[in-house]
Structure 1
Amino acid sequence: MKKLHKILATVAISAVALNAAPFHTYSYAATSTPSIGENHKGEVLFDNSHGQTAGAADWTIDGGFSDYANSIAQQGYRVSELQDESHITPETLKGKKILVIPEANIPFKTAEQKALVSFAKQGGSILFISDHYNADRNLNRIDSSEAMNGYRRGAYKDMTKDMDAGERNSKAMQDVQSSDWLAQNFGVRFRYNALNDLSTSNMLKGKEGLGITNKVNKVSMHAGSTLAITDPNKAKGIIFTPENLSAKQKWSHAVDEGIYNSGGKAEGPYVAIAKIGKGKAAFIGDSSLVEDSSPKYKREDNGQTKKTYDGFKEEDNAQFLTNLTQWLGKSESADSITGLGVSKDKVTQLKDFEKPESSTEPEKEPWSQPPSNYKWYDRSTFAPGSYGSEKEGNSDAPSKPDNPAPSGDNVNGNGVDFSLPETIKAGETFTIKVNLKGQSKNQTLSNLRVGIYADGGKQLGLFGNSTTAGYSAPQQVKTNASGNAVLTIKAKTTSDYQGTAQIRLKQNDKNLKTQPLHIN
């Protein structure tokens, strides 16, 4: 594990009504597209135009991928989100340094595929984050591995196989052509295996690891997949699952043997990289490694509350992702794997059913029937509170959700911000303002707790008279007639720590707001 420094904070909390607008960490432009950070090193774009919020997924920069997005911003990048529908174009990629594609559940159009290849060849970097086979979150028969590979398992000749007329004729399926696109252009293909919960230390180190595994001892997986190296001149594995996995370690809902080659290098890399033209790419076989426990939206199919997990804080996942951002952000003159000064992999040995043209569909898809009033390709059918719902804005140009003021003392997380001084010096008292805006009017907001922790999740703050690091005792504050209030926090850190930490506000166990702070 990476070394964690210790912060000792003594905090006093008071509450007063506030009429002024709070400071926003996330900014919303005229198109209501969220962004975070300042452009010192370049711009990082997260794709949210291919079903990244379908089902239980919430892979947005101010939702279930917010810890990851914050870590990128802390490295000096401006992070923004690509919205709309199937919206990857040369124009949307122009000027971007890195494109992150989390778990796409809608296939890429041929024009988008061409734009991605051109972006990489001209010097851009792309991170593809997939998941296990059959993680079909919007029940359209296409999971992220299939969307990224470029074809459906068992439907190589026709990606619309078994779709009804509405699906086939939808905007989402126009200009979609089945091909082995990812392997042909990047030298890798996501396998259709499904491995269960595991941690792995099986990774390349030193020069062979390209700095991606520095200070990384283990990373985790929770129902994920691996990749096949199809062209060692273009792609190379960096992290692998443990060797000698048994059949018992497959995901319990796997539709086939789940583990294809007993794990290890023979199973194919869990994390791989590719060099293409002036640019590069990286690939991760599980979104669980990246996600955090702060989903923003309701489920689009039924409106239920989502539950995501703090995978970003597990093992050394955060350190690995920080290293990966550094590697993706570094320009390389080499145009092949060997040009990077590392050895070439061997081609991954595949099962016969993994060949695209002869692949099979082990079980009828989709794995579950969607609600009768939900159509994955039509945002007008999405449940209220979900991303893209018409009740939250124009479905062709998604906007920030309306987020009406909550009833009772439930805090509206989108109306919460921290105001911090420009400079925080170790050992000196400083003031934190927790601004709450747009809440229920004249209501007491209770069970509010503040915590300070290091990257990796270890609690570091001491509050009140407590001698044990953790969150503060529950606090409460009453809003004014405009629905606004503020908690004023006096904090002090020990003089022996300098560096970055995180401050977070919770109500009960719900994360409301997380923001970085730096101690000089």
Structure 2
Amino acid sequence: MKPMYRNSALALLIGTSIACGSAYAADAYSWNNVAPVKTPTASNNNGKTVYFDVSHGGVEGNADWVIDGAFSDFADALVQEGYTVKEYRGVDLNNDGRIRFFDDRVNGANQNEAIITYNAIKDADVFVLAETNRPFTLSEQAALEQFVAAGKGIFFVADHYDADRNLNTWDATEVFNGYNRSDLSKYNMGGAYGDWRNPKSANAGWLVENFGIRFRFNGVDYKQGVSGVVASNKTEGITQGVQPILMAAGATLAVVDPQKAKGLVYFSESDTPVKWRHAKDQGLYFGGAAEGPYAAIAKSGAGKAAFIGDSSPIEDATPKYRRQDNANTKKTYPGWTDSGNAAVLAVNIINWLATPESYQYFDGTNGRVSGVATPTPMAVQEYTDPNNGQPWGTPASGFNAWDTDTYKNNSFNAPYGDGQTNPDPDPDPTPTPGNTVSVEQALAASQGTELVVIGKVTAAVNGIYGLDLTDLNNPSSHIYVKLESAQRSDFNPQLNPSILNQNIIVTGKRNSYMGEPGLRYVSDIQIAPTALSVEQALATAQGESIELTGRVKSALNNIYALVLEDSNNPSFTINVKLEKSQRSAFSPQLNPSILDAQLLIKGVRDSYMSAPGVRQVNSIEVLDGSGSTQPDPNGDLSVSDVLAMNNGQAVVVAGVITSAINGKYALVLSDDNNGSDTLYIKLESSQRGAFSPQLNPSVVGKRLRVEGIKNDYMSHAGVRNVSKLTLLD
């Protein structure tokens, strides 16, 4: 049976104590019912208060906004400025000392206490909304409007489009704009919420109608730092002392009404931002200032607002709560101390927001410089939803973002903390997507355990109904996977022979199948991600689990680490911290023969020795030498040979150039004996002049040797990270 608090949230109280309730408290909802407060010294108190909102998903799932947790650096800086800082959780409607989240959107019950009302926030001078993941009701939007009309300030901190932290189909860009990217009928919610379908107009939506600005639905990376900082005499002094600010997968904004809103920081002409690798569409629409400001402010009537498109340059690396769907410990980007931090900008913004001023707009009077309208404030890509109204990822089995009974212990809004017992006698275990296990580890797991397993498909099992999954490092270890009906056409080797020898990731329950160790009740199967180059790894956000390939350049920190360089561009390097068991084989100081070896490394993107790095290394594999995937030196691989290989393997392949593909950026290589077998070869910029058939038609029909990594390109089998091209005739 379920706990008695069905569809209710953690008992939370806005109090004056920083301390968290005991993790071993006897009653459900009591382990974390005290919201933190931070206060300045009496001599430093400026008499102003900042509320940080967590009532609408600020610490949901993967998000990390909690002021005594991941954002303590920001809160501490404001206390040093003289502010009192409080965490806002909602309104205690029934006066029981606890604030509970009820799913009012589904149930229609007037019981939800995780809400925003004007009376509850009116004592604050600034209200900070960070990565809000649950939509506002019409009355909540009205409360925020009333707050601004009273001369107060709101700081909207968003992130990239589809940063759906709690897997409920909403991200902060959508919640702040006042509409979902999708125009599906389900987003015309009616009732307390109204119509949240995409209006497909830059001039429509709650944010733009009140503040003259909207968040874009893009996803951009530029960790070098967005450098187009507008002069402080045009930004009310807010940009004084501000340096370029990193963007680790973020969004920009579009200024629609330049008398209400204006940008603070833009991409400069010399900046070279790129699409975030997980972006759902092009990610980067226009580039430069035309992409819109990264940070901005608005003045609409008596009050003020400020905006930034990424939380990374503000947050720190000390999250307090665990993920709600799987109880994983969270890790955040230590942006507050990063070289591209927004610490100065963030504090300057709060100081400006907390200072009432009588002027109404940026209309050019009294020296108030107006903004610059963004040329295309709503791109065509933003009219459509590439997710088709689906959540960012597939929710784990048994997890429901709207039902707090399904939240894992020690996650925000969970019924219980660590050390407490869930009375459900038959808890539904959920997978841990961030912690993929090997087949060998799956074999050792208890029956009924939900697992996420990576392995190689080696055979069909029971005709079309299953498959045999083999351990990547020990082919003698294997497990049978029972396929659901919808999975058979793609993943059963009898129905789809091309899946043989592919690496896949299977989410299911440890069980037996066909009298052998197995996985059943499979909820998800994915093709395993291919390895990144060092250059790509450098663009990956800290805390992400990655696989990367590169060449060993040197030892680092004596025996404890190595430097891995990009196989195609040695100017890109990353530091790899070796675990104790890995040093004898992979430390160049202990084993000089490993120098120049090509490695496949699985670990977590982090920093090491004050530089970009990889830590928590799970495995290292040599891709050349004894573990080589290179061909026999007496002959090149054929195109057909390479088509049968796994992605991520180094290859030397020869074939005939038949045409250009994707303009000047790639070519089609055909098999010498079977012209229907083709590979797409992605050309590096230095290779295009000589080898692109579009730029040099004379290469068509000639035989070409390609050295690179097998990987898909434009959804077709291909070779990328090309290190060498040689014409053979």
State the TM bucket, normalised to the shorter chain: 0.5 to 0.7
- Find 1:137's aligned residue among 155, 159, 165: 165
Q: Does 1:68 align with 2:74?
A: yes
Instruction: Write the mapping of 1:224-303 to structure 2, written as runs, cut at 5 A.
Output: 224-243=250-269, 249-263=274-288, 265-303=289-327
Deviations 1:339-382 (A, max 9, x none): 562322332133765598xx211234223210121111111111
Q: Does 1:222 align with 2:248?
A: yes
Deviations 1:135-170 (A, max 9, x none): 11111111110011010112275426xxxxxxx79x
Report the AA paired with residue 209 of structure 1. Answer: T
Between Structure 1 and Structure 2, how many residues are aligned? 357
Report the alpha carbon displacement of residue 91 of structure 1 after superposing the two structures with TM. 1.4
> In 2, Cα distance between the equivalents of 1:387 and 1:340?
47
> In 1, Cα distance between the equivalents of 2:83 and 2:378?
43
Instruction: Write the mapping of 1:206-217 to structure 2, written as runs, cut at 5 A.
Output: 206-217=232-243
Q: Does 1:151 align with 2:179?
A: yes
> In 1, Cα distance between the equivalents of 2:282 and 2:270?
15
Instruction: Write the mapping of 1:25-44 to structure 2, written as runs, cut at 5 A.
Output: 26=18, 32-38=34-40, 40-44=46-50
> In 1, Cα distance between the equivalents of 2:295 and 2:130?
14
- Find 2:147's aligned residue among 110, 119, 138: 119
Report the AA paired with residue 218 of structure 1. Answer: P
Structure with greater proportional strand content: 2
Report the AA paired with residue 141 of structure 2. Answer: Q
- SS state at 2:349 partner: helix
Report the alpha carbon displacement of residue 256 of structure 1 after superposing the two structures with TM. 1.2
- Say which one has the larger Rg: 2
When normalised by structure 1's length, the TM-score is 0.64
Deviations 1:164-186 (A, max 9, x none): xxxx79xxx95354271000011
Gaps in structure 1 of 5+ consecutive residues: 1-23, 161-167, 394-508, 510-520
Instruction: Write the mapping of 1:322-333 to structure 2, written as runs, cut at 5 A.
Output: 322-333=347-358
- Compare 301-310 and 148-157 and name the one that shifted more: 148-157
- SS state at 1:70 partner: helix
Report the alpha carbon displacement of residue 25 of structure 1 after superposing the two structures with TM. 8.4
- SS state at 1:223 partner: strand
Report the alpha carbon displacement of residue 28 of structure 1 after superposing the two structures with TM. 6.8
> In 2, Cα distance between the equivalents of 1:122 and 1:355?
37
> In 1, Cα distance between the equivalents of 2:269 and 2:181?
27
Q: 1:203 to 1:352 in 2, by over 3 A?
A: closer
Q: Percent identity?
A: 39
Report the alpha carbon displacement of residue 279 of structure 1 after superposing the two structures with TM. 0.9
Q: Is the 8 A contact 1:207 1:342 kept in 2?
A: no
Gaps in structure 2 of 5+ consecutive residues: 1-15, 22-29, 91-100, 102-113, 197-203, 419-614, 616-729
Q: 1:240 to 1:46 in 2, by over 3 A?
A: same
- Find 1:367's aligned residue among 392, 409, 417: 392
> In 2, Cα distance between the equivalents of 1:282 and 1:378?
32
Name the structure 1 match of 2:522: none
Report the AA paired with residue 43 of structure 1. Answer: T
> In 2, Cα distance between the equivalents of 1:292 and 1:183?
30
Instruction: Write the mapping of 1:498-509 to structure 2, written as runs, cut at 5 A.
Output: none
> In 1, Cα distance between the equivalents of 2:52 and 2:195?
24
Q: Does 1:109 align with 2:101?
A: no
Report the alpha carbon displacement of residue 245 of structure 1 after superposing the two structures with TM. 5.6
State the superposition RMSD in angstroms: 2.6
- Find 2:55's aligned residue among 49, 71, 94: 49
- Compare 115-124 and 307-316 and name the one that shifted more: 307-316
Report the AA paired with residue 385 of structure 1. Answer: N
> In 1, Cα distance between the equivalents of 2:351 and 2:381?
34
Q: Is the 8 A contact 1:28 1:35 kept in 2?
A: no
> In 1, Cα distance between the equivalents of 2:303 and 2:381?
28
Report the alpha carbon displacement of residue 260 of structure 1 after superposing the two structures with TM. 1.1
Q: Does 1:181 align with 2:206?
A: yes
Large movers: runs of 4+ above 4 Å: 27-31, 351-356
> In 1, Cα distance between the equivalents of 2:212 and 2:345?
22
Report the AA paired with residue 308 of structure 1. Answer: T
Report the alpha carbon displacement of residue 209 of structure 1 after superposing the two structures with TM. 2.4
Q: 1:54 to 1:148 in 2, by over 3 A?
A: same
Name the structure 1 match of 2:416: 391
> In 1, Cα distance between the equivalents of 2:337 and 2:261?
28
Q: Is the 8 A contact 1:27 1:35 kept in 2?
A: no
> In 2, Cα distance between the equivalents of 1:341 and 1:308?
40
Q: Is the 8 A contact 2:267 2:287 kept in 1?
A: no
Deviations 1:112-138 (A, max 9, x none): 100101110110100000000111111
- SS state at 1:197 partner: strand
> In 1, Cα distance between the equivalents of 2:280 and 2:159?
14
Report the alpha carbon displacement of residue 261 of structure 1 after superposing the two structures with TM. 1.1
Q: Is the 8 A contact 2:159 2:311 kept in 1?
A: yes
> In 2, Cα distance between the equivalents of 1:245 and 1:322?
25
Q: 1:330 to 1:306 in 2, by over 3 A?
A: same
When normalised by structure 2's length, the TM-score is 0.47
